[in-house]
C-alpha cells in the first residue's frame, strides 16, 4: 500500500515540474491563462463561447479543449466563433495533466494570444489533482446539479480561485437553496470570487467578465 502512495506522489511531483515549465512558457508569451473545470454538462463550452463574445473586440483568445473521446464538437464551436482551438483527446483519461497541456502549447499560436482558456475534462474529482500551469482555476457549477455539491466534492471547491454558478435562469423551476450552497463554498474556500450567471439570459455575466479583465491586467 505504501508503495502505491509513493508512486502517486512521484507522478504528481513530475506533473508539478512540467506545470511550472508550462507557466513559464505562457508568461513568456504574455498570455493570461485559465483552467476551467466542471461536471459534464455544467456549461463550460457555453461560458467559454460567451466569454469569447464579450472579450473579442479587445482580446485574442485561444482555447484548449480537453475531451475523453475524439469528438471535436466543442473545438469546432470555438473555431466557428473565430478563435483558435486545439483539442486534447485524453483517450479515456478522466483529467488533463501538465504534459498534455505542454503538447497543446506547442500547437496554439501563443504569441498572438491575450488569454488562453483550457476546458478541462468534465469531471468534479480528478482534474483538481493535476496542476496544468495556468494562472487560475475556475469551477463552473450549475443550478440543476444541486446545492449540495460543495459538500460532496470538497477537493474541487478547495482548489479554485473562482466559482461560476451557471444556469441561474432555471432557479424558478428547481429546488436550490442558495444560502446552503454558498455556506458550503465558504467553509471550504473563504472569500472565494463567486459569479451566479446565466448563459441563456446573460444575467450576471458582466461581473464575471469584469473580474476576468481585472485578473488578466494584473
List the one residue from 59, 81, 99, 126 that touches a second copy (CB under 8 A).
126
What is the maximum span of the chain, computed from C-alpha positions, in angstroms?
A: 54
Cell of 144: 440543476
**By CB under 8 A, is residue 159 in contact with a second copy?**
no
DSSP one-letter string for 40-104: TTS-HHHHHHHHHHHHTTT--EEEEEEESSS--HHHHHHHHTTS-EEEEE-TT-SS--HHHHHHH
Among 10, 17, 152, 183, binds a second copy (CB under 8 A): 152
Is 145 near a second copy (CB under 8 A)? yes
CB 22 within 8 A of CB 108: no
- Strands of the chain, DSSP E: 32-38, 61-67, 85-89, 115-119, 136-142, 162-166, 193-196
Q: Which residue's CB is nearer to a second copy, number 51 or number 87?
A: 87
71 touching a second copy, by CB under 8 A: yes
Of positions 73, 79, 178, 187, contacts a second copy by CB under 8 A = 73
**Minimum CB distance to a second copy, residue 57 (Å):** 27
In 110-156, where do the E strands start and end?
115-119, 136-142
Residue from 153, 205, 208, 211 binding a second copy (CB under 8 A)? 153
Q: Which is nearer to a second copy, 151 or 161 (CB)?
A: 151
Site map (CB under 8 A) of a second copy, residues 74-113, x = contact = ------------------xxx-------------------
Shortest CB 32 distance to a second copy, Å: 27
Question: Cα(205)–Cα(213) distance, rounded to whole angstroms?
Answer: 13
The binding track of 176-215 with respect to a second copy, each residue x by CB under 8 A or -, is ----------------------------------------
Amino acid at each position: 500500500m505504501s508503495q502505491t502512495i509513493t508512486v502517486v506522489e512521484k507522478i504528481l511531483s513530475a506533473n508539478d515540474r512540467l506545470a511550472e515549465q508550462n507557466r513559464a512558457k505562457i508568461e513568456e508569451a504574455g498570455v493570461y491563462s485559465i483552467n476551467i473545470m466542471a461536471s459534464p454538462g455544467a456549461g463550460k463550452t457555453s461560458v467559454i463561447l460567451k466569454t469569447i463574445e464579450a472579450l473579442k473586440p479587445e482580446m485574442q483568445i485561444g482555447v484548449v479543449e480537453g475531451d475523453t473521446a475524439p469528438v471535436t464538437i466543442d473545438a469546432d464551436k470555438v473555431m466557428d466563433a473565430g478563435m483558435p482551438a486545439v483539442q486534447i483527446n485524453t483517450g479515456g483519461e478522466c483529467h488533463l495533466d501538465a504534459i498534455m497541456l505542454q503538447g497543446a502549447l506547442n500547437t496554439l499560436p501563443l504569441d498572438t494570444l491575450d488569454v488562453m482558456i483550457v476546458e478541462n475534462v468534465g469531471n468534479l474529482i480528478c482534474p483538481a489533482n493535476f496542476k496544468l500551469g495556468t494562472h487560475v482555476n475556475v469551477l463552473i457549477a450549475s443550478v440543476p446539479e444541486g446545492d449540495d455539491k460543495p459538500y460532496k466534492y470538497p477537493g474541487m471547491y478547495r482548489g479554485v480561485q473562482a466559482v461560476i454558478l451557471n444556469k441561474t435562469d432555471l432557479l424558478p423551476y428547481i429546488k436550490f437553496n442558495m444560502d446552503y450552497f454558498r455556506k458550503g463554498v465558504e467553509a471550504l474556500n473563504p472569500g472565494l470570487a463567486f459569479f451566479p450567471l446565466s448563459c441563456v439570459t446573460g444575467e450576471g455575466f458582466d461581473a464575471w467578465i469584469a473580474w476576468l479583465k481585472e485578473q488578466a491586467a494584473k
